[in-house]
Amino acid sequence: MSSIKTSQSRSKVSEFKLNTLLEITNAINNNLPEEQLFVLFQYILEHQLNIGRAVGYLLREESWSSILQYGATEEEMLINVEEDLAYIKDITVLEMLGESSHATNFDVVIPVFHQSQIIAYILLGDLDEQELKASPIIKHLPFIQTLANITAVAVENKRLMRESLAQERLKQELATASEMQSMLLPRTLPNDKDFQIAAYYRPHQEVGGDFYDVQLINEDELVICLADVSGKGISAAILMANFQANLRAQIAVESDLEIIINNLNQSVWRNASGERFITALLAKYNRKTGVLEYINCAHPAPIIMIEDEISRLDVGCVGLGMFDELPFVKIGRTTLSKDTMLVSYTDGVNELESMDGTPFEDEMVIDIIAAQQYNSMNDFNMLLMNALNQHKGNLDYHDDIAIVSCKFFR
């Protein structure tokens, strides 16, 4: 009879455990909120296993938070997970530990793993198994550990799923932003008997802070702009989009470069509050007179080759948005002759480093210009990009790149 009763008792415990596992699995499959999973887990410990005291801690975003607590005093809750529990890698009977930790007020600690990382700790005390007539406390620890693992891993998977969905949404938003940004760049560039123009743009991330524009504002005048926002990412792209809109509005109604630059500076100052600035080159070419006027706003000085003579367009002012009012503005002027070549770029070109830390210096661009091993400005841009690829080796690009190259035939 004793053997039969023992067998029946074991069968009852096994049935209880199976039903409990089924209950918590169904709750997870039904996508029960995290807090309700914790409540269910506590109910099983407190009312079905009759465990008198329990606390639990879950790792959330690199910090530990309490997810379970009942039957414990305020003093017993003063557990520093990093100091008191971090060294525990398996089910541990806390009576075997020293007296210095508040964790020793409990009987057992159960670490919960997700892959190889501990994501939760469950501390138990005062286990009373009389109603289940089960074996001593240690006998049920594997079952409790299983419950804890199922619950904590389900919560961790929920978190990972939320992160995955958030990343996917961000990826889609960035793809949309990248598409919209590409629409801000000119789809076609003015090319005719007097000039040939080509551009290249490569954002470092999905969206970038570099910008170029080339516009014929009337039959004779051509405006060229290249700009670079300090910093990277979405905020830089938003500021650049605003700059582009203001630039096009300005050149539609104003021809004086100094007035345009001052108006653009005020716009950048208002929008960025002095926290970001824009380097820019703004140039205007008159095909009748052959005169190129420009203002360089702290931008890498474009290289110009006139009859095999190399010079730089370095006259101008400070970066836009550095001051509420520009302290000085100088306009540079040069007269272009037949077959003049102008190459402008952002600092993603001349600051690109090789494996040994050597920057791609302006002289390397000049060498490509002087070699004249290209039949068009598109060819030149590809030669320059090939040289950049060879220079960086296996390193990644660390910045946006924008290039505008022009050939004038007047």
Query: How many C-beta atoms lie closer than 10 Å to residue 123's C-beta?
Result: 27
Residue percentage of the chain with pLDDT more than 90 = 41
Give the global pTM: 0.65
Question: pLDDT tier at 325 (50, 70, 90 boundaries)?
Answer: very high
18-22, 37-41, 148-152, 209-213: range with lowest mean pLDDT:
18-22
What would the pLDDT profile of 99-132 be if each residue is shown by its tens digit? 555 566 788 888 888 888 888 898 888 654 444 4
Name the amino acid, one letter, at 326. Answer: L
Burial of 366 from C-beta contacts in 10 A (0-12 / 13-18 / 19+): middle
Does the pLDDT of residue 136 top 50, yes or no? Answer: no
Tell me, what's the pLDDT at 288?
94
Contact status, residue 193 vs residue 256, Cβ threshold 8 Å: no
Q: Which of 124-133, 154-163, 198-207 has the highest mean pLDDT?
A: 198-207
86-90, 133-137, 253-257, 275-279: range with lowest mean pLDDT:
133-137
Question: pLDDT tier at 44 (50, 70, 90 boundaries)?
Answer: confident
Question: pLDDT tier at 353 (50, 70, 90 boundaries)?
Answer: very high
Tell me, what's the pLDDT at 31?
72
63-67, 121-125, 171-175, 224-228: range with lowest mean pLDDT:
171-175
Tell me, what's the pLDDT at 11?
58
- Domain boundaries of the chain, sorted by first residue: 2-159, 175-408
Does the pLDDT of residue 97 top 80, yes or no? Answer: no
What would the pLDDT profile of 248-290 be if each residue is shown by its tens digit? 999 999 999 999 999 999 999 999 888 899 999 999 999 999 9
Tell me, what's the pLDDT at 182?
67
Tell me, what's the pLDDT at 174?
63
Tell me, what's the pLDDT at 135?
35
Tell me, what's the pLDDT at 101?
58
Q: Please enumerate in sequence order all residues whose Cβ is within 8 A of that of 131, keeping only pairs 6 or more positions apart, or say none.
A: 50
Residue percentage of the chain with pLDDT more than 70 = 83
Instruction: Round to whole Å and give the CA distance between 403 and 228.
Output: 11
CATH architecture of the region 175-408: 4-Layer Sandwich (3.60)
Name the amino acid, one letter, at 166. Answer: A
Tell me, what's the pLDDT at 378?
95
| More confident site: 130 or 316 | 316
Q: How far apart are the first and last CA of the chain?
A: 113
> Which of these CATH numbers, 3.30.450.40, 1.20.140.10, 3.40.50.300, 3.40.30.10, describes 2-159?
3.30.450.40
Question: pLDDT tier at 333 (50, 70, 90 boundaries)?
Answer: very high
The answer to whether the Cα torsion of 23, 25, 28, 34 is positive or negative is positive
